[in-house]
């Protein structure tokens, strides 16, 4: 039987999503996903924005994917414009799991360059999933503008997103290899190596790229 918000069971589940124990919140999210009802979508999205535990957030995302796209998609697209970073990040992550390309117009340059690394990383992954056929090169160019940004995890996320686009990233990488910023040049070189040699470890590729840049490679004369 479908759970409705008026049922005692529904009230218990809704309370469970806000319980102080992560195990209770996890079970509540599982219950909502197991017996989906559109009446729970807003609450699931609201909880995604504040849930501190990764495994619970993942279950909340799974529960949202179990609901009709006609209900979840508009709500998630609104959420990517939230002023709260976790709300934006989780909404993007959920859109990537749903995989409906009607969400593509919501993946703006502002999100791809978001000041919060987690939001940007989610936007990069989601963009690669949702990009329409024929727009991969344009997306590669936008992503390449972020090369050199952040620490290891952020740079690895960007490299993976670019590599997932395939050979179309070549021109964007070559442009980045001539950039004035040595961090951008090194990151572009490392990403290009990962594209050519997928089995190469990211750390190794980065160190090799740094050495090349230090010696005057990647578009430098001499």
pLDDT tens per residue, range 32-62: 999 898 989 999 999 999 999 999 999 999 9
Mean pLDDT throughout 161-184? 94
Q: CA 216, CA 222: separation in Å to the nearest integer?
A: 7
Sorted by where each begins, the domain ranges of the chain are 136-222
pLDDT at 100: 97
User: Residue 9 has what pLDDT?
Assistant: 74
Lowest mean pLDDT across 59-63, 149-153, 212-216: 212-216
**Is the pLDDT higher at 88 or at 203?**
88
195 or 218: which leads in pLDDT = 195
Is residue 218's pLDDT more than 60? no
pTM of the model: 0.86
Does residue 133 carry a pLDDT above 60?
yes
Cα separation of 189 and 212, whole Å? 9
Q: Is 166 left (phi over 0), alpha (psi -120 to 50) or beta?
A: left
- Across the chain, the runs of DSSP E, i.e. the strands, are none
- Residue 200: what pLDDT? 66
- What is the per-residue burial (b if ≥16 Cβ within 10 Å, else e) of 61-80? bbbbeebeeebbbebbbebb
């Amino acid at each position: 039987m479908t759970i409705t918000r008026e049922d005692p069971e529904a009230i218990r589940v809704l309370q469970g999503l806000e319980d102080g124990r992560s195990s209770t919140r996890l079970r509540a999210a599982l219950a909502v996903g197991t017996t989906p009802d559109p009446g729970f979508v807003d609450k699931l999205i609201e909880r995604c924005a504040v849930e501190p535990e990764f495994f619970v957030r993942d279950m909340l995302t799974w529960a949202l994917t179990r609901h009709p796209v006609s209900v979840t998609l508009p709500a998630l697209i609104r959420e990517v414009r939230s002023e709260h970073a976790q709300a934006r990040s989780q909404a993007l992550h959920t859109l990537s799991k749903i995989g409906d390309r009607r969400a593509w117009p919501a993946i703006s340059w502002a999100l791809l360059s978001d000041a919060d690394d987690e939001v940007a990383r989610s936007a990069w992954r989601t963009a690669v999933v949702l990009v329409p056929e024929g727009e991969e090169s344009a997306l590669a160019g936008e992503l390449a503008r972020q090369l050199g940004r952040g620490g290891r995890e952020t740079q690895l996320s960007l490299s993976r997103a670019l590599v997932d686009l395939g050979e179309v990233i070549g021109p964007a990488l070559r442009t980045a290899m001539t950039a004035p910023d040595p961090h951008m040049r090194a990151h572009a070189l490392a990403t290009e190596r990962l594209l050519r040699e997928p089995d190469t470890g990211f750390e190794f590729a980065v160190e090799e790229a740094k050495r090349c840049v230090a010696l005057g490679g990647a578009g430098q004369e001499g």
